[in-house]
C-alpha cells in the first residue's frame, strides 16, 4: 500500500472514530430478537426446510450458476422462480437479482434511459438513492410523505417530460407507510410512472402477503415493484415485478444483472419453497399485527420518545451518538437485542433504537422491552 493511501485510510477511520461513528461487525446477537428483519420467523422455520428438501428431491439443482445469466447461468430453476413470482403477484413478469440492493440499483439506474426526471422521497433506502443518482435523470426530492411537495415537483415537469415517482411502501427507519393511493393519483394525473420498494411490506400486507401495492389494489397501475426475500421470507435476494417489456429492457440495460454471476439454482428452490409456504401463514401475520397493536397501546404509557409508527418497525428516539449507544447497551444488558442506529443511516441528531417486532415475540417480551427502555431513558 502506498504511503499516501495509507495516510488517507487512517485519516478516514480516525475521523469516524472521533465522531463516535466507527462501525464494527457485531458478534452473534443474543437475547430476545427485536432487531432482525425476520418478521415471521421463517429464517429458522422447519416447515421451510422440509419444503426445500421436497423440492430438491425432485431433481438436483447446481450449487452455483457458473456465469452471468446471459452466458451460462440461466438455469431453468431461476426461470421457474420468476414465473412463480409473476403469478403470485399478478404481474406480467419478474426478474430476480442477488439482493434487494442490486434490484433497486439495477432498476433505477436503468430508468435513466427511459425517463428524464425521478421524483424521490427524501427517506429512500441507500440502494434507491444510489440507483437514482446513477440514472443520470434529474432528481426532484420531496419531503418524506409530503404530498404537497410531490405535487409541486410534478408541476415542475416540462410538458410531455417522462418521469417516475420513487417511494417505499414502508420506510425502514421511520416505520411509517407511504400513502400509495394519493401518490398514484398525483402521478397518474401527470402521466408519471410509480416505482414502489416493497422490501418491508412484502409477505406481510395484502392478500396472502402480496404487499402494500396489492393491499391498495394498484398492481396494474405501478410501473414496477421491488420485492426482497431477506426480510419476511427469511432468505436473501430480490426481484423486480414489472411488464414483460420492462423486464426485457432490464435484461439488456440493468448492469447489476448483466454483469453479475446469476443466482444459485439451489437458492431459487429455497425462494420458491418460501412462496409456497407464504399463503399458509395468515396466523403469523395476524399475530404480528396483534403485537403491533399491543406495543402501540403500551408505548402510549411509556416515558420514551417513540415515533408514532403503526407498523412492525418502532423507533425510540435517543439523539446523539453517545446517548443512543448508552440506551442500546442498557437494553442489551436486559437480554434484549435492540440496536442503536446512528448517522449516517439516520441524520445526526435523530439517532434512535430501531425495534423490529416479530410474530414470535410475546406480550411479556414487549413489556420487558418497554420497561427497560423507560428505565434507560430515566437514567
Report, as residue numbers or ranges, the catalytic residues: 37, 125, 168, 172, 197, 200, 231
Instruction: State the DSSP code for 36.
Output: -
Which residues, in sequence order, are bridge partners of residue 240?
95, 226
**Spatial separation of the C-alpha atoms in residues 194 and 243, rounded to whole Å:** 13
- Whether 172 contacts 199, CB under 8 Å: yes
d(CA 184, CA 165): 9
Which position has the grid cell 396494474?
A: 220
Judge contact between 80 and 99, C-beta under 8 A: no
Q: How many whole angstroms separate alpha carbon 362 and alpha carbon 157? A: 50
In order, the DSSP letters of 62-131 are -S---SBTTTT---HHHHHHHHHHHHHHT-SEEEEESSHHHHHHHHHHHGGGT-SEEEEETT--HHHHHH
Query: How many residues in total does the chain contain?
Result: 379
Cβ–Cβ under 8 Å, residues 353 and 341: yes
d(CA 279, CA 205): 12
Do 234 and 48 contact (CB within 8 A), yes or no?
A: yes
- How many Å apart are CA 338 and CA 356, to the nearest integer? 8
- 170 burial via Cβ count (<10 Å: 0-12, 13-18, 19+): buried
Q: Which element (helix H / strand E) includes 296?
A: helix 282-299
Q: How many contiguous H segments (helices) and E segments (strands) does the chain have?
A: 14, 12
Amino acid at each position: 500500500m502506498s504511503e499516501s493511501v495509507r495516510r488517507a485510510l487512517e485519516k478516514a477511520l480516525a475521523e469516524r472514530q472521533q465522531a463516535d461513528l466507527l462501525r464494527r461487525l457485531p458478534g452473534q446477537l443474543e437475547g430476545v430478537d427485536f432487531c432482525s428483519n425476520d418478521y415471521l420467523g421463517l429464517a429458522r422455520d422447519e416447515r421451510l426446510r422440509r419444503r426445500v428438501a421436497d423440492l430438491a428431491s425432485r431433481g438436483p439443482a447446481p450449487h452455483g450458476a457458473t456465469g452471468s445469466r446471459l452466458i451460462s447461468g440461466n438455469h431453468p430453476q431461476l426461470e421457474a422462480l420468476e414465473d412463480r413470482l409473476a403469478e403470485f403477484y399478478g404481474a406480467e413478469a419478474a426478474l430476480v437479482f442477488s439482493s434487494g440492493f442490486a434490484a433497486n440499483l439495477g432498476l433505477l439506474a436503468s430508468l435513466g434511459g427511459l425517463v428524464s426526471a425521478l421524483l424521490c422521497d427524501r427517506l429512500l433506502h441507500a440502494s434507491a438513492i444510489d440507483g437514482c443518482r446513477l440514472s443520470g435523470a434529474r432528481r426532484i426530492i420531496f419531503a418524506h410523505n409530503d404530498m404537497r411537495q410531490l405535487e409541486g415537483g410534478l408541476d415542475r415537469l416540462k410538458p410531455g417530460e417522462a418521469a417516475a415517482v420513487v417511494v417505499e411502501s414502508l420506510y425502514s427507519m421511520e416505520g411509517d407507510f407511504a400513502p400509495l393511493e394519493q401518490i398514484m393519483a398525483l402521478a397518474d394525473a401527470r402521466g408519471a410512472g410509480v416505482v414502489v420498494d416493497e422490501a418491508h411490506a412484502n409477505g406481510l400486507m395484502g392478500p396472502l402477503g402480496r404487499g402494500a401495492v396489492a393491499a391498495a389494489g394498484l398492481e396494474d397501475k405501478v410501473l414496477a415493484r421491488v420485492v426482497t426475500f431477506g426480510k419476511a421470507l427469511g432468505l436473501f435476494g430480490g426481484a423486480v415485478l414489472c411488464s414483460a417489456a420492462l423486464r426485457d429492457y432490464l435484461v439488456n440495460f440493468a448492469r447489476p444483472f448483466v454483469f453479475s454471476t446469476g443466482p444459485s439454482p439451489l437458492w431459487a428452490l429455497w425462494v420458491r419453497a418460501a412462496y409456497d409456504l407464504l399463503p399458509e401463514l395468515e396466523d403469523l401475520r395476524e399475530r404480528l399485527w396483534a403485537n403491533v397493536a399491543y406495543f402501540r397501546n403500551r408505548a402510549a404509557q411509556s416515558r420514551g420518545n417513540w415515533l408514532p409508527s403503526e407498523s412492525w418497525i418502532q423507533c425510540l428516539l435517543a439523539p446523539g451518538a453517545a446517548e443512543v449507544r448508552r440506551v442500546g447497551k442498557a437494553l442489551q444488558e436486559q437480554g434484549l437485542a435492540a440496536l442503536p442506529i446512528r448517522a449516517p443511516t439516520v441524520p445526526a441528531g435523530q439517532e434512535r433504537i430501531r425495534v423490529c417486532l416479530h410474530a414470535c415475540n410475546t406480550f411479556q417480551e414487549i413489556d420487558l422491552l418497554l420497561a427497560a427502555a423507560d428505565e434507560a431513558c430515566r437514567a
